[in-house]
Amino acid sequence: MSSIPPSMRSRVTMNDVADLAGVSKASVSRFIGDDRPLLSDAIALRIEQAIQTLGYRPNQMARGLKRGRTRLIGMLVADIRNPYSIAVMHGVETACRRHGYSLVVCNTDRDDEQERLHLAALRSYNIEGLIVNTLGHHLDELRDLHRDLPMVLVDRKVDQLDSDLVGLDNTAAVQQAIDHLQTRGYRDILLVSEQQDGTSSRLERMQAFKALMAQRTELRGQIVQTDDQLTRNLQAFLASPGPGPKALFTANGVATLTCTRVLRELGCDLFEDIGLIALDELDWYPLVGSGITALAQPTHDIGITAFECLLNRLRGDQAPSRMLDFPVKLIVRGSTRLRS
């Protein structure tokens, strides 16, 4: 048990341990490093007792920098409040811990200047690899950093950045949503997406939706965004005549929450007046009306796979960059009840 007060432990140095144990500083360094087997049992015991007595805590960051390894992985996130980002981050952190790495998370809050500052900070931390879930507007800085360390993209492509990409099979997910709605009897479908800011996954979902609607002439498809016109657009959609029962297809969890709030404000009877299928599966979906039908993304697995791709690159994998697309899982609830 240490006899040093907690407030004093940060002042204890490797030299203090060496003096108390009666050994050289080099021996203490070997003990707390990878060369402990080089020490005799007697010396190792004296050092261990001295460390316990003094309450010495080695500076892991300094040790990592000295060896050229910090075992730190960086993660650049566009919006840490987004449930998708949180779930993916948890998967990354789980995989990091499993392999002896620590995760440094930087939230840009969708701000280009914050992204630039965080990239500079991550470089100063001497991270060994980087996982990117942003728009990557600072392409030159990202490419410069990529020359020094491996990088993996999550969910969003960054043009001209030759990195592995882990995300969702967006085309298949949209098709599964439309197939389900059509089978349930819906004929008038409104895709609601967050505002288009260059996010590749949002664009892919919109393009897939347009292509499918063009092929299925018995359906009518429209697209709106979660901007200040959303309430007016939803009112117009509900009031307009169409080819049959109406349904919303919300392109992510944020769009789902926004639409649910607006529909309640409009006095819509969920889900009698309108159907709803959501891309993403969130904890509150079963609690709204008769429950929201969801296309669940394997977000935790996406995070784990992103780190594993990065780890392979750290271990010397020189294969061409690859794209790993995950499928969704359909969870049917009352929001897409069978229509006649």
Residue 41 to residue 29: CA distance in whole angstroms: 15
* pLDDT band at 61; cut points 50, 70, 90: low
Strongest mean pLDDT among 122-126, 146-150, 328-332: 328-332
pTM (predicted TM-score): 0.80
Q: What is the mean pLDDT of the chain?
A: 90
Percent of the chain surpassing pLDDT 70: 93
Residue 191 to residue 208: CA distance in whole angstroms: 11
3-state DSSP of 113-125 = HHHHHHHHHHHHC
- With 70 as the cut, is the pLDDT of residue 58 above it? no
Residue 71 to residue 266: CA distance in whole angstroms: 52
Percent of the chain surpassing pLDDT 90: 65
Query: Residue 245 contacts by C-beta under 8 Å, 6 or more apart in sequence?
Result: 185, 186, 187, 188, 275, 339
Please give the DSSP secondary-structure letter assigned to residue 184. T
249 vs 143, higher pLDDT? 249
Mean pLDDT to the nearest integer, 120-137: 89
* pLDDT band at 299; cut points 50, 70, 90: very high
For 259, the token pair is 């639409």
Classify burial at 169, counting beta carbons within 10 Å of its beta carbon; exposed 0-12, middle 13-18, buried 19 or more: middle
How many Cα atoms are found within 13 Å in the side-chain-facing hemisphere of 132? Answer: 33
Mean pLDDT to the nearest integer, 9-35: 82
Return the pLDDT at 273: 87
Mean pLDDT to the nearest integer, 90-105: 94
Mean pLDDT to the nearest integer, 1-16: 61
Tell me the domains of the chain and their CATH numbers. Answer: 6-58 (1.10.260.40), 71-167+300-326 (3.40.50.2300), 170-297+329-336 (3.40.50.2300)
